[in-house]
Amino acid sequence: MKIIFCIDLDAFFASVEQRENPELRGKAVVVGDQKIGRGVVSTASYEARKFGIKSGMPISEAYKLCPQAIFLPVRFSLYQKVSYNIMEILKKYGKFEQVSIDEAFLDVSEKIKDFDEAKQLAILIKEEIYEKEGITCSIGIAPNKLIAKIASNFKKPDGLTVVKNEEIKSFLSPLSVRELPGIGPKTEKVLNEIGIKTIGDLAKADILLLIEKFGKIGMDFHRMAKGIDNEEVSEKHEIKSIGREHTFERDTNDLKLINRMLESLAKEVHDELRKENFMFRTVTIKVRYEDFETHTHNKSLNFTDSLEDMIFVGKKLLSPFLHSKKRIRLIGIRVSNLMKTQTKLNFS
């Protein structure tokens, strides 16, 4: 039997800001793009969430909900550095897989005898992260990645939730189907319409009906609802992609402005790649029109670390979208399929 940890940092960007400036501790802090009237919330401290502020919400709406909150710009390279330090701590304790800037899995099955020992280890890891990096995390411990992930979200912030084999059913059953990865508001609505609200309902549902409603993925929903997941913790990719986006002050179809912005975003992505010693294979661009219609388009190359390649491919991918009558609201560029050119990273 496996023992898997899922570790997710609490209100990550906001927690780092609170650590950097202790006066912000205990206060409503909102980190996001600062463009007046157009920015979006990256994250909010738990104090700010009490007012209903959430990731992805326009800053203007957040301001209406809580005008006394402290609004801060995103300092991505600072968060990247803190993330790096924390991931280095986690790596020591088992087979390690980083899934995002603030989330990782650990398979400790080889090192730990049972779930009680695992809980003790999780307490030590939480203490070490807090002592060294001054921020809290939530940890879920379970026999597989799926349940560990759901358990890590169960008691946030500063949570620790252990789900043993024999507890899987009683843990999952009462939770909303939204707790399952891949089930968003649209799928939830369709499930609700056929009387399925909880994961327990989904586990009991007629699989043929699920396939009729959702196609093959209906089988995955059913499998997840039963808590079945055999995916290994994989050490392959630590950071999967690096990207930047920009929302224009005003929707635009000024080709010069759009191309210049693409170059500047590519430069930022490239700086980040350099710092991490990565080469990349795939370039993806994103375009959002004024009516929020959004497209992404990608192309893969041979491994390269060249900024010129990134800009050349980025512009080529972007060009078919520049001849629409609609104006452009946002563009983004992302590189993925990354490979480390040096294994040891140095942050000054």
Q: Does 47 interact with ligand TTP (rule: CB under 6 A)? A: no
Q: Does 86 interact with ligand TTP (rule: CB under 6 A)? A: no
Q: Does 42 interact with ligand TTP (rule: CB under 6 A)? A: yes
CB 31 within 8 A of CB 43: yes
Q: Does 97 interact with Mg ion (rule: CB under 5 A)? A: no
The residue from 47, 97, 103, 133 that is catalytic is 103
Q: Does 161 interact with ligand TTP (rule: CB under 6 A)? A: no
Buried b (16+ CB within 10 A) or exposed e, 41-53: bbbbbbbbbebeb
- Distance CA(59)–CA(57), nearest Å, equals 6
CB 331 within 8 A of CB 262: yes
- Coil, helix or strand at residue 130: helix
Q: Does residue 272 have an active-site annotation?
A: no
Over the window 93 to 122, marking each residue x when it contacts ligand TTP by CB under 6 A and - when it does not, the resulting string is --------xxx-------------------
Minimum CB–partner distance for residue 29 and Mg ion (Å): 14
Q: Does 102 interact with Mg ion (rule: CB under 5 A)? A: yes
Minimum CB–partner distance for residue 212 and ligand TTP (Å): 32
CB 204 within 8 A of CB 163: no
Which two structure tokens, joined as six digits, stand for 93?
């304790």
Q: Does 10 interact with ligand TTP (rule: CB under 6 A)? A: yes
Q: Does 55 interact with ligand TTP (rule: CB under 6 A)? A: yes
Give the binding range for Mg ion (CB under 5 A) out of 4-12, 201-209, 283-291, 298-306: 4-12
Judged by beta carbon, residue 15 or residue 284, the one nearer Mg ion is 15
Judged by beta carbon, residue 133 or residue 321, the one nearer ligand TTP is 133
Choose which of 57, 63, 95, 157 interacts with ligand TTP (CB under 6 A): 157
Minimum CB–partner distance for residue 26 and ligand TTP (Å): 16
Count of CB atoms situated within 10 Å of the CB of 83: 21
- Coil, helix or strand at residue 110: coil
Give the binding range for ligand TTP (CB under 6 A) out of 6-14, 226-234, 245-253, 295-303: 6-14
- Distance CA(139)–CA(67), nearest Å, equals 32
Of 143, 132, 149, residue with least CA distance to 97: 149
Q: What are phi and psi of 300, to 5 degrees?
A: -105, 145
Q: How many residues bind ligand TTP (CB under 6 A)?
A: 15
DSSP state, 323? G
Count of CB atoms situated within 10 Å of the CB of 229: 17
Rule CB under 6 A: which residues touch ligand TTP?
A: 8-13, 42-43, 55-56, 101-103, 156-157
